[in-house]
Amino acid sequence: MYLRKSILLVFVFLVPVSLFSQETKFAVHNYSAGVSKLEITTQSNAFNVVVFAGDEGCLLVDTGDLKTSADLKQKISELWKMNVKYIVNTHLHNDHMGGNGQFHPEAAIITHANVPIRLNTGLNIVQDVHENDMPDLMPENKLTLKFNGQIIEIHAVPPAHTDTDMLVYFPEAKILCVGDVFLKNCYPLVDTQGGGNVSNFTKVVKNIIESYPADVTLITGHGDDLHMQDLKNYYKMIVESTALVNDLSKANKDAQEAGVKEINEKWDQTWGQSFLSTGGWIRSVATSFSPQTKKESVIVPLYPFIKSGDMAGTLNKYKELHKTSRDRYDFGEGQLNFLGYNLLSKNRVQDAIIIFQLNQEMYPDAVNVYDSLGEAFEEAGDLNSAAMNYQKAVALGEKAQDRNIELYQKNLKRVTLKIKKSTSVK
Ligand SMILES: [Zn+2]
Ligand SMILES: [Zn+2]
């Protein structure tokens, strides 16, 4: 199981689903001074793309995902009859920069400086960004762009949702694009594998409150627009709930258990009703207080072997480093899991199996490694091996009262059904 997958699962229930159409739906919202928002809805996801149009052409904030990008391009030329000259990405997630390739290289891509680092070192899981579509411009801190007779302010912020977060401000329209740093009715979403950081959220949110006009409209990465008062409420909730979890941790209490009740009563109705539950938020905060490993991911030294397809070399290097450099590199269970999903996302299914098997060898008692391996086998069409691994995940998960047990059971059920179907066909 990979984190973003569970977020996606929540999405499925949030978005109105039509069982009969697979098509992409576009809702257009027009603001002042040439700014519009395209709300894109598919069967499984919903996200926003901002279009700023004028005499010189279009600038996009985010490009949605790869699957919808051809439709997006068509929609833009239909509605604005102009070429896209710039793309600014609020961060490196599939459903925000997956469509870049559709407009690049005619359009210049502007991203946070960490984007190419993540794309080049194997520390990304974004299958939809091709290596030809590397960013053209990366502001150190702030970039002011003159386009269509207006000024656009692009601001790279400290790692919060990911370590590639940027804000985009249109002063004339008084519109600020905040990406996934702030979503309606949602606790902060922290992608730790993507470099996100709970403790920076207060800083980043406070900075927005202090730096932009009180009547600014906030366009988010998913869902409805928000306003300064919403952001102030968000800030208050983050400050108070992190302080509460901090106090509980200091008092050596189980933050999860003691915190849930109090935080639930106070905030669940407002903030816990979309992508992240109250329990999930407390977990994020509690983990951020525990001593962080400052070690570099073992993926970085492995990546040259991975990139050239040398899997034997990858295994040898991993084992060598595990003997010699455990102080230097992070060998946690999550590292190979992340790498395996990276390979799966690039359709290197057999290589993913090799990596997940290595993880299983290193962490034979970890529940999730069996589920991940099951998923890779399922993708490879080896349903019996998939079922075997899902079974193991369910058995271990039940014993450990794993919080993802329902997902493991669901996977096992699905693959068992597939096996039944395939044998009855024969
Ligand atoms: Zn998003
Ligand atoms: Zn995101």
Distance 388 CA to ligand 1 centre (A): 34
Distance 36 CA to ligand 2 centre (A): 21
Distance 168 CA to ligand 1 centre (A): 15
Q: Verify that 110 and 36 share a domain, yes or no.
A: yes
Q: Verify that 54 and 137 share a domain, yes or no.
A: yes
Distance 56 CA to ligand 1 centre (A): 28
Nearest alpha-carbon partner for 88 in 69, 66, 107? 107
Q: ω before 135 within 30° of 0 (cis)?
A: no
Please report whether residue 409 resides in a domain. Answer: yes
pLDDT given at position 423:
83
Q: Verify that 215 and 273 share a domain, yes or no.
A: no
- Total domains present in the chain: 3
pLDDT given at position 153:
98
Distance 348 CA to ligand 1 centre (A): 25
**Which of 189, 207, 229 is the endpoint of a domain?**
229
Structural domain that includes position 383: 332-425
Distance 189 CA to ligand 2 centre (A): 8
Distance 174 CA to ligand 2 centre (A): 23
Distance 161 CA to ligand 2 centre (A): 7
Q: How far apart are CA 330 and CA 324, in angstroms?
A: 13
pLDDT given at position 162:
93
pLDDT given at position 257:
66
Ligand number, closest to the Cα atom of 91: 2
| Per-position pLDDT tens, the chain of length 426 | 654 443 433 333 333 333 334 588 999 999 999 999 999 998 778 999 999 999 999 999 999 998 899 999 999 999 999 999 999 999 999 899 999 999 999 999 999 999 988 887 777 666 667 777 889 989 889 999 999 999 999 999 999 999 999 999 999 999 999 999 999 999 999 988 788 989 899 999 999 999 999 999 999 999 999 999 999 999 999 999 998 888 877 776 666 666 667 777 788 889 988 888 888 888 888 877 776 556 788 998 998 899 889 999 999 999 999 999 998 898 989 889 989 988 887 789 999 999 999 999 999 999 999 999 999 999 999 999 999 999 999 999 999 888 889 999 999 999 999 999 988 765
Distance 175 CA to ligand 1 centre (A): 18
Distance 187 CA to ligand 2 centre (A): 13
Please report whether residue 248 resides in a domain. Answer: yes
The residues, ordered by sequence, that sit 6+ positions from 407 with a Cβ below 8 Å of its Cβ are: 1, 6, 9, 371
Cα separations in angstroms, 426 against 364, 386, 417: 35, 20, 15
Quick check: 113 and 25 in contact, CB under 8 A? no
Distance 254 CA to ligand 1 centre (A): 31
Please report whether residue 338 resides in a domain. Answer: yes
Q: Verify that 150 and 205 share a domain, yes or no.
A: yes
Quick check: 111 and 166 in contact, CB under 8 A? yes
Distance 356 CA to ligand 1 centre (A): 27
pLDDT given at position 10:
34
Nearest alpha-carbon partner for 270 in 202, 205, 187? 187
pLDDT given at position 178:
98
Please report whether residue 234 resides in a domain. Answer: no
Residue 375 one-letter amino acid: E
Ligand number, closest to the Cα atom of 45: 1
Distance 426 CA to ligand 1 centre (A): 43
Distance 278 CA to ligand 1 centre (A): 19
Please report whether residue 327 resides in a domain. Answer: no
Q: Verify that 280 and 354 share a domain, yes or no.
A: no
Q: Verify that 216 and 256 share a domain, yes or no.
A: no
Q: How far apart are CA 51 and CA 35, in angstroms?
A: 6
Please report whether residue 309 resides in a domain. Answer: no
Nearest alpha-carbon partner for 26 in 74, 65, 60, 75? 75
Distance 295 CA to ligand 2 centre (A): 24
Please report whether residue 146 resides in a domain. Answer: yes
Quick check: 84 and 58 in contact, CB under 8 A? yes
Q: Verify that 280 and 370 share a domain, yes or no.
A: no
Question: In this structure, what CATH number is given to the domain that contains residue 340?
Answer: 1.25.40.10
Q: Verify that 83 and 217 share a domain, yes or no.
A: yes
DSSP string, 352-369: HHHHHHHHHHH-TT-HHH
Distance 176 CA to ligand 1 centre (A): 16
What's 192-241 look like in SS3?
CCCCCCHHHHHHHHHHHHHHCCCCCEEEECCCCCEEHHHHHHHHHHHHHH
Q: Verify that 181 and 75 share a domain, yes or no.
A: yes
Distance 364 CA to ligand 1 centre (A): 33
Q: Verify that 8 and 150 share a domain, yes or no.
A: yes
Question: In this structure, what CATH number is given to the domain that contains residue 174?
Answer: 3.60.15.10
* Residues around the ion ligand 2 (C-beta < 5 A): 93, 180
Distance 97 CA to ligand 2 centre (A): 10
Q: How far apart are CA 183 and CA 170, in angstroms?
A: 19
Dihedral sign (CA 163, 168, 169, 175): negative
Distance 247 CA to ligand 2 centre (A): 29
Q: Verify that 52 and 112 share a domain, yes or no.
A: yes
Q: Verify that 366 and 282 share a domain, yes or no.
A: no
Please report whether residue 136 resides in a domain. Answer: yes
**ipTM tops the 0.85 cut:** yes
